[in-house]
Amino acid sequence: MIKRVFASDTGYKQMILNYNKKDALIATAIYFFCMIAYLATGVFQSATGIYLGIYVNALLMLICIAVVLIRKQKLQSIGFTPRYFIKALIVGLAFGVVFSMLNIIPAIISGGKWTGFLPLLWNIPYYLIIIGLQEEVLFRGYIQTRLYGALKSDVLAVIICGLMFAFMHIPFQFFNRGYSNIAEFLGDNGFWLLITFVWHLIFNALYRKFNSLTAPTASHFLMNLSSTFFG
């Protein structure tokens, strides 16, 4: 039943066969640039209190789009497609509602207060475009698919990209949360990193099912937005 629900779109299976080692190399280079950019962002915020994540995330998404166009590949190859849009949106929002409960229920139990509709409206563009869409373009749309150019094992490619997605969060959060050594950070945040790896598996499955950004972005957006419902 689960295998049928998350069965990959035939177009996705065919598409990943078109990539080669050069595509995988470029994807890896973009990932390392991403890590350096987040490290610099974390250091800068730690020193000045100024958050540059909006600009960095926008830049990373634009880089992926630019590379796709330069290599004469279609934007559909990173999930920009109207195909299955309504169905994918419904599925993505349904999963998002379920995932949101992981934020909402603990917040209510711990006595959190509803933050109000105005802050929620202000947060929507940020969590939809800067976080949800950007991370889906970068990891599920671009890096994950291009890794198949060098890794023919589906399981290995998904695991490696999942680890890349989890580790991507370390540079910025390390400085943002005021840690002095990596061992302490990993000790406090190991479970969170494991959960982040699991999110990649789920979002990637949603992406593959429709060969589209719609479902994972909707789910990712709603899950992250729900963390701001109660404060």
- Residue 5 pLDDT > 80: no
- pLDDT tier, 8 (very low <50, low <70, confident <90, very high otherwise): confident
- pLDDT tier, 4 (very low <50, low <70, confident <90, very high otherwise): low
Cα angle vertex 193, ends 56, 224, to 5°? 60
Backbone angles phi, psi at 55, to 5 degrees: -70, -40
- Calculate the average pLDDT of the chain: 95
- Residue 199 pLDDT > 70: yes
Going by the DSSP 8-state scheme, the letter that residue 230 receives in this structure is B
pLDDT of residue 180: 87
Separation in Å, CA 111 to CA 102, 104, 114, 119: 15, 11, 10, 19
Q: What is the mean pLDDT of residues 20-37?
A: 98
Going by the DSSP 8-state scheme, the letter that residue 213 receives in this structure is S
pLDDT of residue 177: 87
| Residues 156-186 pLDDT 10s | 999 999 999 999 999 999 998 889 899 999 9
- Residue 1 pLDDT > 70: no
Residue pointed to by tokens 């475009």: 129
| Residues 82-132 pLDDT 10s | 999 999 999 999 999 999 999 999 999 999 999 999 989 999 999 999 999
Q: Which two tokens stand for residue 161?
A: 């990209």
Q: Which of 60, 87, 20 is nearest to 172 (CA)?
A: 60
- Residue 2 pLDDT > 60: no
pLDDT of residue 231: 85
| Residues 205-224 pLDDT 10s | 999 999 999 999 999 999 99
For residue 55, the tally of other CB atoms under 10 A from its CB is 12
pLDDT of residue 100: 97
Q: Contact 99/225 with Cβ under 8 angstroms?
A: no
- pLDDT tier, 74 (very low <50, low <70, confident <90, very high otherwise): very high
